[in-house]
Amino acid sequence: MHVADRPTIGIFGAGKVGTALARLLVGSGYDVVMAGSPRQTALALLVSVVAPGARVGTPDELVAQADVIIVAVPFGKAASVPWSEFGGRIVVDAMNYWPPVDGHIVEVDADERSTSEIMAARNPEARLVKSLNHVGYHEMEDDSMDAGSPLRRAMAVVGDDPDARAVLARIIDDLGFDPVDGGPLANGRALEPGHPAFGRELSADELRALVAPGVHVAA
């Protein structure tokens, strides 16, 4: 059942990551609306099967209804998301740049910024954070644990807006992970494929030491 004081979550992308997140969020009491690729047929049927309880909407409906927007499309499809509509909104970059999948994107390879800083430049008015990307979609459901468990896995959130980071930290806690405040968006480099925190099962202290030494948990 939807908990009234929790934000509505919009998810762009109905692939494995998006649907895994939708299942966890619905199970944690969140209202979830999803939008998929324009080429994805029978999306409502798909979501009803793989993420029951989530709703399907158009991109415009998602932007209008969601308090927090998660972008979980393939990195190479990032331009298909309506970034121009995200001004003032909390936006979660849950994407990863995978050259074996996306191909080598010359502009990204040559850019010294983290991939999330590149995404943030698409709309500087968006309150963009990086999170939900460094734990595998299958592990999100398998490793989710109740608060207080000594074996609880950590998940980081980075971003230049402290309040946006705090909102995501509460969501991460509800999903069954220990939230780690990783500081500014530039620290997101550590969460990307090929970097220290990606894909590793870490405690909050271990993850914090890799992403943002000296920064405290923001739950």
CATH numbers and ranges of domains, the chain? 9-211 (3.40.50.720)
Between strands 9-12 and 68-71, the pairing is parallel
Backbone angles phi, psi at 170, to 5 degrees: -65, -40
| Rounded (5°) CA angle 125-127-214 | 130
pLDDT digits 0-9 by tens, 4-28: 589 999 999 999 999 999 999 999 9
Backbone angles phi, psi at 157, to 5 degrees: -135, 130
The percent of residues in the chain predicted with pLDDT above 70, rounded, is: 93
pLDDT digits 0-9 by tens, 56-95: 999 999 999 999 999 999 999 999 999 999 999 999 999 9
pLDDT digits 0-9 by tens, 168-209: 999 999 999 999 999 999 999 999 999 989 999 999 999 999
